Each structure stands twice: as C-alpha cells, then as structure tokens.
Structure 1
C-alpha cells in the first residue's frame, strides 16, 4: 500500500507505505525484489515533486541483514549473500541479482522503472540500489546488547520497521 497524505493545516504532503513481506527465511531474494518494486512505485510518485517518505513495514528480516542494508544504505551486494534476510541459521540458494526481478516488471536493479529517456547510473553486477535516502527510527539493539525486535517466531526475530527519508545522512562514531 502506498498512500500520499496531506496535512490539512500546512498542506505538507508525504508518502506513507505499509507492506508485509513474506515470512520465509530462504527467500531474501524475493524480499529484495518486492522492495525494489515498492521503491520504484514510490519513486514514480516522487517524480513530480519531492516529498518526505515513511515506510512502515513488517519485513520479516533482522536488523543489519542484507535486506536491511539495501533499505538503509540504498545499496546491497547480493553476491554470496546466502543469509540475505538475517533470519535463522541459513538462507536459501544464491540467486544472481539480475535474476531477482522478472523482465516484465520493467524495473532495474536501481529500483526504478526502466524508461528510454531516463539518465541512469550503471549498477554493479550483483548489486541492488535505490534512489531514496532512508534511515530507521530504531537503534536495533537494547542497552544490554540484545536485538530490539517486535516479535519472535520459532526463535527467529521479526522486527517491524519504520524508515523515513532524510536529506542527508551523517555517520556518528562512538
């Protein structure tokens, strides 16, 4: 679900999404493909004017997994990422990045719709990227060093995530 919401008082608009990704530890490639499709649709909504974005989703991934990295860092290297979701002891078989999205989706590994007019930067082999700058509202670990999650199912962490768009990211070292 993608909603474009508008504040009655200020007129400020923003994009809000709510999505449930499948619960399957072995299919991180499908999760990245579905997220790439979601981001392509968000980007399409943003082409006329930039608006803040909030992504509030049940992603069925663990913090700092490859899928998380794809969202938070705008890039994910899929090569040798057998545990792409971060769930469980192992993931599914390796799938090359170029085979994650079907051609009929008309979405590139840059998570944007493919059009002949667009100026696009090449995406390295076995990478997925996206044009949004997103950051998580969570720290992902408690003060005791335990994973910050919303639920566990069969000893697998399944945090719900909230990401929001930012103009610029700053690295903070501690």
Structure 2
C-alpha cells in the first residue's frame, strides 16, 4: 500500500479521474487459475513439492489512515474482520504451505485463524512508531523450523523496515512415544533451541531444507539508495544462512516496492548493478510519469518491452558518499553485486498477454486510486524450480472493480503463489 499521497503524484499510473461507480462484474472473471510450467522441472526422488505465497495484506491501521487511496471502496469492504476472512480464504483456497505476509498489524488475530487450519507462524514488527511488520506461516505437519534470523534495517542506518529469514525442513510424521521427529522426508538435523528444546541434535545425510526470506522494502520512490541497501543486506544474510546449512535452496517473497522494468529488479535478476548509472530517484521505477490517460497500460508494455532498464539521461546521476554507502555499504563503491542466482517464478512460468507483461511478470499485483502495477515477487535460487504459478487478473477486470480491496479480495494487493519442487541435483545438505 502506498504511504504518501504526494509521493504518488508522478507515479507509474496517475489516474486522470476516479471511477465513480462499480460496474457489474461477473464473479467468474475474478477467479484465478493455475498456470503450469511449459517444461516441468525434474523433481527430487521422492518428489518434494510445496506452495509458497507472498501476500501484502494491507494493515488495518494503514487502511484507516490512508482512506483517500480507496475512494471507491465501500466502508464495508475496508473492515478488518471481513478482509481477514477473505485473506485467510485465499491462503486456504490455494493450499499454500508457506505464507509470507507483509504489512501485518493484526498478527495475533491472523495466527488464531491460521492455527485453526494447521499453521504456525512468527512475526517481526517494524522498529519505530509504525507497528506493522512481516509474518511467516507454515504448515506444522509439513515443515519444521530449524533456524531463523530477523533483520532490523535500522541497525544499518536504513530506516525502520524489517525482514525475516527462516530455514524450514520437510517432515511428515512423528514418533508415537512422545511426538518427536521421526519421519523427515530424508532424516535431518534437529535444532534443539527452536521447536524441540528437549531433543538433542541428530544429523543424518540428505536433508530437505529451504531458506525462506520475507521482506517489505521501503516505499518512498525517491529513496532508491535505501531500497538497494535493504535488498543488499537481505540477500547477503540469506546467502550466509544458506551456506551455513550446506548451500540449501532459497525462496524470497515480499513487497519489493519496485517495478519489473526498474534497475532494482534488474539487480535482483542479474546479480549486479552499476548504481551511479541511475538517478537514485528512479531506481525503483515508481517515479515514471506519462501524460496519456492510458498510462497504466502504456507504461507496463513499453517499459517492460525494453531489453534493459531505462537510463534517465536528463537527470543528474550524482551520488553523495552517504547515498553510495546506503546502497552498496561502501562510500566510494559504484558497482553492487550479490551472490545468489535468482529467478522470478512468474517470469519463468509465463502466462498470456492479458495478465502478463512481455517478460512474464504480472501486469498488476496491486491496485488503488493512485497506482496499478507490480511490486510483489517470488524469487528462487538453484535447487528448487517452479512447476506452476497462480495467475493474476487482467487489467480490464481489475479496473472494473474500481480499486482493491473489493467484494472478492481482502487487500489492495493480490497474493502471489508458486508451487515449487526440490530438484534431483541439489547438493547433500549437512548440519552447520
């Protein structure tokens, strides 16, 4: 959700006028369908598959504070009790195994509902005055928590945003003589400081573990240096935790507050970026403005069709030492790199032109009166591969709603979901 009306004045999708009435919508057009991969990846033996979801749920306090972003949304649709039910229904309808939520300020309430369906979860609140944060839920009969790390970006001088990193391990059955772990998909290490405090650490070969990262990157479109810095730290810590457990696969979820044609997206996908080639105010792609009343569709197709992110030659690219340090960690460093080989699941499992841009990303993952576009992603590394993704909606269908939340959707973001499989060639994982 956008946190500032003024910051959206030159956004990707400035609307010339608000939609005054909600036209009739056939609810069947709002049903989302799974898109299968063209070439299904080779699974592990036995096959380990799981569904990961990323969902910015629109915090209740933010929904109330920024009501101007939802002028066409009936008050009834904004009430948390109703939105919570729709949010949980979406999780259950796609049978997600791991759910990464952002902008959570009602964790206790959500946890109660999720526990009723067999999930457990952990929350990390933002630092500072704002009390929303990130939350990760997982099915207790499928995964067990073996390691975790919370990130407070404030400790690095990078605002109050936070991120979560978890190492989850497949398991399927318990011992009958006390409930301790017996049936990991391939027996594993048990960390006695987390889920089983009385169980001594046991190590056996060929485990099934995955690193999950969950982040809500700073919104402010003008602070590209801060955004890059937050993502840089997240990727570094995710890589370190993956290495600690033997180079295990990575899945990253979140609201990255950058568009698919942006330099920040290119950094995630290509693992490198010459930061001083860009104005920091344009790194996220959120400040692009277009005079046409059709700018939402125009910008998505034109910019996404470019082979490389736009270099705004008319702007000064002067960076201060402080800004360079924010972005790269070093005052005189121009080039930023990260050690992960990441792909976006939606860019790999492509849909059709009604719902996807030319590089495969959704045309829109969020919609309110000031923005219609994509900022949410599911990234993954070697060792896992997507078998299918939950497709988003066509722009014309979204626009007919007049904005989200709606009768059908409980947030101003659409959840993304991908079914992954662990691949045969993943390296043997050991204990740290």
Q: TM-score, normalised by structure 2?
A: 0.31
Deviation per residue, 1:125-165 (Å, 9 max, x gap): 52110000000012388515756220135136342100000
Indicate the SS of the match to 2:278.
coil
- Equivalent in the alignment of 1:159: 375
Distance of 1:18 and 1:149 partners within structure 2: 20
Structure 1 residue 69 and structure 2 residue 277: aligned? no
Highest CA radius of gyration, 1 or 2? 2
Indicate the SS of the match to 1:88.
coil
Change (3 A) 1:108 1:22: closer
Equivalent of 2:249, from 52, 57, 61? 52
Greater displacement, 92-101 / 3-12 = 92-101
Structure 1 residue 127 and structure 2 residue 345: aligned? no
Structure 2 unmatched runs, 5+: 1-163, 172-184, 187-206, 290-314, 384-432
Distance of 2:337 and 2:321 partners within structure 1: 11
- Equivalent in the alignment of 1:172: none
Q: TM-score, normalised by structure 1?
A: 0.72
Change (3 A) 1:20 1:47: same
Distance of 1:26 and 1:7 partners within structure 2: 41
- Equivalent in the alignment of 2:319: 95
Change (3 A) 1:142 1:128: farther
Which protein has the bigger helix share?
2
CA contact (8 A) 1:61 1:158 kept: yes
CA contact (8 A) 1:4 1:14 kept: yes
Structure 1 residue 149 and structure 2 residue 368: aligned? no
Structure 1 residue 43 and structure 2 residue 206: aligned? no
Greater displacement, 59-68 / 74-83 = 74-83
- Equivalent in the alignment of 2:344: 136
CA contact (8 A) 1:29 1:95 kept: no
Equivalent of 2:276, from 79, 83, 101? 79
CA contact (8 A) 2:273 2:335 kept: yes
Deviation per residue, 1:81-117 (Å, 9 max, x gap): 1210011227997535884445xxxx857xxxxxxxx
- 1:12-31 paired onto structure 2 within 5 Å: 12-31=208-227
Deviation per residue, 1:17-72 (Å, 9 max, x gap): 11001111111111110011111111221233101000001011000311111111
Distance of 1:156 and 1:126 partners within structure 2: 32
Change (3 A) 1:133 1:98: farther
Corresponding residue pairs, total = 149
